Structure 1
Amino acid sequence: MSNILHILNGDSTLHSFNQTGLDGDVMVWREVLSEGPLQENISSGTFWSNRSRWIKKTFNEPEEEYQHKVIDELGKLNGQYDEVNLWFEFDLHCQVNLLGVMCILNQQTNMSAPAVFLICPGDFPGIDDFRGIGQLSGDQLEDLYDSREQLSDWEFELAAEAWPLYVNGNADELEQWLNGNSFWGALHLLKPALLAHLKRLRLNANGLNHIEQKLLDIYNSGVKTKLEMYNVFWSAEKIYGMGDSEIDIYLERLSQKQFIN
């Protein structure tokens, strides 16, 4: 077994990663912790069984598929690695998943803790509308790897503070914590992502959060097909990193509240 593990933020990155010459085992993180039920103890069985049920109900995905795509992959974290590389992105979807991974790694208190590195670009030279590392070639990923940052205990402590604040969803407590932190180290993209999340926690006079209101504005502007709505939303709100099935969750809420047909 290789002594290096690469944790990739999704299958789009896997496609590009397979074009690199980088050594190591690969684990693909296929969860979407930015949506659905969470609890603080991410290592508990109930955490993952609740996730499995929610994914099945929301995205119509069979539980055995979840077992194969998510749970079996998580088993790779039990390997004895000298080095773990976390390949994640700047958006809320990825930053929450990153917090989850860091919390799991932090709870594995074996004495031979691996060196953990983060590859998390907010932009990329020559790409104007950078959406994520899945856009990049194998050579470009190797360039990113060369400039990776090692995570210290300090960053893991920061993640351990951020995770329960995210899970509990108290807007005032989260805002106070974000304003109280002036140094973010290698996790400098966490703050803008959590500020975007803060806008999801607060409701306006219509009883809608920022994403719901944004989608309603797009709908009311005359954009009616789902694909067009996705594209307008993505261009304006790429900080959320949402796929079409995640946007559908919010469109369904607007429909249930009878804001849209």
Structure 2
Amino acid sequence: MSILHILNGDSTLYSFKQTDIDGDTMVWREVLSQGPLSTKITSADFWRTRAEFIRDVFKADTYQQDMIDQLAMLSEAYDEVNLWFEFDLHCQVNMLGVMNYFNQLSSLSSPAICLICPAEYPNKPDFRGMGELNGEELEYLYDNIRVQLSEADFVIAAEAWELYVNGNAADLQRYLNTNTFWGSLHCLKDALAAQLKRLQTNALGLNYIEQQLLHIYNSGITDRGELYRTFWNTEKIYGFGDTELDIYMEGLRGKGHLKPMSS
């Protein structure tokens, strides 16, 4: 049986190579939680726009080979595809992207698609993600929490993707209030609730992330590394890295809320 594993990052790939799990691997090197999106994720325009954004904001000059060229693997005739994504917003949006990519492919034969999505790990009370696990621990996840996604899961993913892309806070709030079935996407609701906070703003026009970063900054923590670590201690639901938080800090600086930071 031919198997493809779509991994959430290179840290997971490093540990995955230590396992005895069969199959090919692809790393989903994207940041769909940031930047312009459209619902038609299989379109050339979608990836052209993403390439421009990644190049301009993340200064990445290998996006074509690291991400776009890898998409061809999703059209290959695998019997099974395993999605390895975590609980945070960054990963959940990437998961939605992958699921909707498969959903939009005009293929007569679809593989069985399974999800490995840990929100916690035994004896790791401050579990942050699969990048901190070794090969044996990834095998534990594969053997114990892997679930095959159903048609209903893909319906939910399509609904959530459209809501995320459209970015309407009222629509997302309504969906969170009324949807009572999340299928096997057990981490999606909390991630979308975190996204809702990004869409809602206070009287100063700041969303939740900007408010939290500004609060930390105003408390006297102005060193970039310490400020970000303080944010991550309470807001791991977002899963944002340094560059993503840099975007918010630049926004705050542009609005006149911050002085230049030390790094």
Task: Identify the match of residue 153 of structure 2 among 142, 152, 155.
Answer: 155
Tell me the equivalent position of 1:256: 254
Q: 2:12 corresponds to which residue?
A: 13
Q: CA deviation at 1:110?
A: 2.1
Identify the residue that residue 38 of structure 1 maps to in structure 2.
37
Q: Which residue in 1 is equivalent to 2:125?
A: 128
Separation of aligned partners in 1, 2:43 and 2:175: 26
Q: How far apart are 1:107 and its partner, in Å?
A: 1.4
Note the 1:203-214 alignment, pairs <5 A. 203-214=201-212
Q: CA RMSD in A?
A: 0.8
SS at match of 1:185: coil
The equivalent residue for 1:86 is 83
Matches of 1:52 and 1:254, distance apart in 2: 25
Instruction: Report the counterpart of residue 225 of structure 1 in structure 2.
Output: 223
Distance in 1 (alpha carbons) for counterparts of 2:237 and 2:72: 30
Aligned length: 258
| Structure 2 counterparts to residues 47-196 of structure 1, below 5 A | 47-62=46-61, 65-147=62-144, 148-196=146-194
- Offset from partner CA, 1:13-65 (integer Å, 9 cap, x none): 00110100011010100000000000110011111110110111111222xx1
For 1:239 and 1:218, how far apart are their aligned partners in 2? 17
Amino acid at match of 1:81: Y
| Paired letter, 1:41 | K
In the TM superposition, what is the alpha-carbon distance from 1:69 to its structure 2 partner? 0.8
1:72 deviation in Å?
1.3
Query: Alignment partner of 1:126: what SS?
Result: coil
Rounded to whole Å, the distance in 2 between the matches of 1:74 and 1:215 is: 35
TM-score, normalised with respect to structure 2: 0.97
Which residue pairs with 2:233 in the alignment? 235
The one-letter amino acid of 1:118's match is: L
Report sequence identity in percent: 59
Distance 2:231 2:66 in 1: 28
Match of 1:23 in 2: 22
Structure 2: 5+ residue stretches without partners? none
Q: Is there any run of 5+ residues in structure 1 with no aligned partner, and where?
A: none
State the Cα distance separating 1:179 from its structure 2 match. Answer: 1.3
CA distance in 1, matches of 2:194, 2:159: 18
Q: Which runs of 4+ in 1 moved over 3 A?
A: none
Tell me, in whole angstroms, the C-alpha distance in 2 between the residues paired with 1:165 and 1:244. 26
Amino acid aligned to 1:59: F
